[in-house]
Chains A and B, each alone.
Chain A
């Protein structure tokens, strides 16, 4: 297989079936992820997103096909798995299934100690991550007294402290209020800033369209469509099959173009703010023309 330095994850013909199930959870999945990119995974429940994530750090072993991390196939030995799990971290959807200790400090120290750090280094790393993710105000509270958003922050810190190359977030904004959703999104932006490849499962197409470098549409255990948000969202058929609606900003933009209320360009607006700016620009153009 020709390996390019740019690919951090390569999945080839990956299939997986849960024990006792007829249906394949993953069915010949093919995928490549560019290093340092922001990738949104979209698709209905049961489309294979979570199973694929579990395969990416060796929790589930594909029945067939192979997964390469950094160009190296995952080895299902003690050492190989340790290596992969140090590189790929998963923030699970339900923090209550991830946080095993009632103490925030103990919780965050778990991963880095498992990677073999000595106590002193681990303490430094834990303290740093607590400061970085703004956990300090509630670090002395027990896990059961934290809000959903705070638990999510700790769950992300759990993984960040291990300095992964790839960070997987499984619906990080599920069941969060808008303020905490924004906070999680800010944290995610900071992760990309550090060069971490971020894979995020989400049902929020408006956010995916605005945030991602690439969108992966999943359906029935395979990749239905992978590409830039513009390309994927232009494929209405694929969107429909994945049970998704196109982003509202895109629909509005198309409608404005059709009605001639905005000049036609190839530059798609990624967010509402961008569309508003385009509208304002157009207005001043028109006014300038009228003046002449």
Chain B
């Protein structure tokens, strides 16, 4: 979470208009999920990698490590599709285990591969957005899309206070450690609980103080702010539209041909 935030501020694509990036990520994601086909997933994954690592300058090793997180879930999830326990061996593989077989079908394997690739491609769309767009810019773009103000204000405050509170939490942690607060499991659990209490009270206090400070700047219940503007470029929008069109073609063309012949 914090790593992604740090990387997004360093991305070379940071100053590309946020609405464009949002449009690109969401449209591609939608295509990926709707089509559920390897034909779209593979190019989407590849293009996102080129954009994030090549153009955005996010280090490849970091990118790979980040992809490992969803990959772990995927492997655990697809294992259930691939591996069956059955009395009859299926067509892909089968290992006898007593009276049963641990076995899998070709269709199951294909299904698992498709799910894996589609999911990874979808995640790569979100990573593209998260790694190349600063949170406040995303909020600015959502504001333009007329997402309800309350939602955006909540996101804005939560985002800011994640960092304030996590700083406080780590300071408390350090001071607990320096007094042997985590020497064993027992004290560890007690310290953790104490930290939770302290953080909760602090969060309340801070929110009161913040409210005072905002009121003193004429806050009236609506947060009005100006986002830093980065002009959208017509050619970039055209490129995005063209790309989505090509993706849709790659997906639909074979289906159409099949239905014709």
A contacts, CB < 8 Å to B:
54, 57, 59, 78, 81-82, 85-86, 89-90, 92, 94, 96-103, 105-107, 109-111, 113-115, 119, 122-123, 126, 140-145, 158-159, 162
Contacts and interface: CB of A to CB of B under 8 A. Distances in A.
Pick the most buried of A99, A106, A107, A119: most chain B CB atoms within 10 A of its CB: A106
Interface in B138-183: 156-157, 159-160, 163-164, 167
Nearest to A109: B226
B225 A113 contact: yes
Contacts of A113: 224-226
Nearest to A114: B218
A86 B220 CA distance: 13
A126 B219 contact: no
B64 interface: no
A60 B32 CA distance: 55
Nearest to B217: A111
Interface stretch (B66-74, B77-85, B114-122, B208-216): B208-216
Contact of A89 (B167, B210, B217, B226): B217
B206 interface: yes
A43 to B, nearest CB: 21
B136 interface: yes
- Shortest Cβ-Cβ A-B pairs, 6 listed: A144-B163, A114-B218, A106-B225, A103-B136, A97-B209, A109-B226
Given A85-B215, A106-B228, A114-B219, 12 more contacts: A54-B216, A57-B216, A89-B216, A97-B206, A105-B226, A106-B136, A109-B224, A122-B226, A126-B226, A140-B9, A142-B9, A142-B134
Given A96-B206, A114-B220, A142-B134, A101 B213 contact: no
Given A57-B216, A92-B213, A96-B206, A110 B159 contact: no
A114 to B, nearest CB: 4
A100 B160 contact: yes
Contact of B160 (A57, A102, A115): A102
B226 A101 contact: no
18 contacts: A57-B216, A59-B215, A59-B216, A85-B217, A85-B218, A92-B209, A96-B206, A97-B213, A100-B157, A100-B210, A102-B136, A102-B159, A106-B226, A110-B219, A113-B224, A114-B220, A141-B9, A142-B5
Interface of B: 5, 9, 134-136, 156-157, 159-160, 163-164, 167, 206, 209-210, 212-220, 223-228
B217 A101 contact: no
A107 B225 contact: yes
A103 B219 contact: no
Contacts, number: 107
Nearest to B224: A113
Contacts of A110: 214, 217, 219, 223-225
B212 A109 contact: no
A102 B135 contact: yes
B228 A105 contact: yes
Given A92-B209, A113-B226, A101 B156 contact: yes
A158 B219 CA distance: 13
Nearest to A85: B218
Contacts of A102: 135-136, 156, 159-160, 163
Contact of A105 (B135, B224, B227): B227
A15 to B, nearest CB: 20
B34 to A, nearest CB: 34
Contact of A54 (B157, B160, B164, B212): B212
Contacts of A92: 209, 212-213
Contacts of B159: 102
Contacts of A86: 218
B217 A97 contact: no
Contacts of A115: 218
B217 A106 contact: no
B144 to A, nearest CB: 13
A162 B212 contact: no
Given A92-B209, A96-B206, A105-B228, A158 B164 contact: no
Nearest to A103: B136
A144 B223 contact: no
B136 A114 contact: no
A85 B212 CA distance: 12
Nearest to B166: A144
A210 to B, nearest CB: 28
B218 A82 contact: yes
B10 to A, nearest CB: 11
A113 B143 CA distance: 16
Given A102-B159, A102-B163, A162-B217, A59 B212 contact: yes
Could you say which of A97, A99, A159 has the most chain B C-beta atoms within 10 Å of its C-beta? A97
Nearest to B2: A144
A99 B160 contact: yes
